[in-house]
Structure 1
Amino acid sequence: MRKPLTGATRLPDGVQIRGRGLRRPAPGGPVPDFAVYLGSARLRRRHQAALLWPHEWIRWPDFLLPLDRHAAARSITHLHDRARSGEAVEVACDGGVGRTGTVMACLATLTGLSPHDAVTWTREHYHHRAIETPWQRRWVAWFAAHTGS
């Protein structure tokens, strides 16, 4: 098992995943083994050259929901699986709060928390303003229902 990334959050199941905002410099220390990034084509163009490790993008407009919710759910579940296997992983959007917080709450449902408890947990342990919109809160519930968490 590799050392966790600087700034990683420990999920309720002990798995560590770093959430962050791409608009701020990456924390020092090791780079991720794998990452999932959330954003538009414009955000991808702005940051793609600096992301030198294996990663994928979920098309997810700011303050909204992923454009392909089923593909996003698969990517989030895959990210958790990779972290559980010992890889150092991160998830990030531009600011690191709304979309990234929503994914952190989804990840928390994979550890057994209810969607409501996952949102509360994420706001307490990741960022106090995480999951910024009512539809992002509802999407955490959709994710949990469709992934069997």
Structure 2
Amino acid sequence: MQPTFALYLLGREPAPVAWEHRWLRWPDFRLPSDRAATADALREAWARAGDERVEIACGGGRGRTGTALACLAVLDGVPNDQAVAYVRQHYAAGAVETPWQRRFVTRFR
């Protein structure tokens, strides 16, 4: 099933897709290039996920995707200092791979 909306967290622009999407420049093992745009895109994804199929993806599905999912958990009410553990428990044990990705989640608003 195709998503209605997607966020692609990649170091370079993804191939074209048939559905609405946003590309966030986010190199592997690093943080997003534009943190304000990333926060806006994550808020949009969170709001749309209530009644739409939303996809969030990076190259490997762990670090960048895990970081984004932890930020979505924060938007949904999980305390910042518990969001990484939450995603690791409910999504993937290796999610949010680097110390700076963890710090990004703890500071996300």
Query: Which category of TM-score, normalised to the shorter sequence, fits these structures?
Result: over 0.9
Q: How much is the aligned-residue C-alpha RMSD, in angstroms? A: 0.9
**1:83 has 2:83 as partner:** no
Matches within 5 A, 1:1-149: 30-41=1-12, 44=13, 47-49=14-16, 51-84=17-50, 86-144=51-109
Match of 1:8 in 2: none
CA distance in 1, matches of 2:61, 2:81: 20
| Counterpart Cα distance in 2 of 1:38 and 1:66 | 8
* TM-score between both structures, scaled by the size of structure 1: 0.71
CA–CA separation in structure 1 for the residues paired with 2:5 and 2:100 = 27
- The whole-number CA distance in structure 2 between the counterparts of 1:106 and 1:130 is 12
Corresponding residue SS for 1:96? coil
Aligned length: 109
Paired-residue identity, %: 50
Instruction: Find runs of 4+ consecutive structure 1 residues off by over 2 angstroms.
Output: none
Q: Secondary structure at the match of 2:57?
A: strand
- Separation (CA, whole Å) in 1 of partners of 2:18 and 2:108: 29
What CA deviation, in whole Å up to 9, does each residue of 1:37-79 have, x standing for no partner?
Answer: 00112xx3xx413x22110100001000000101100000100
Amino acid in structure 1 at the alignment position of 2:15: Q
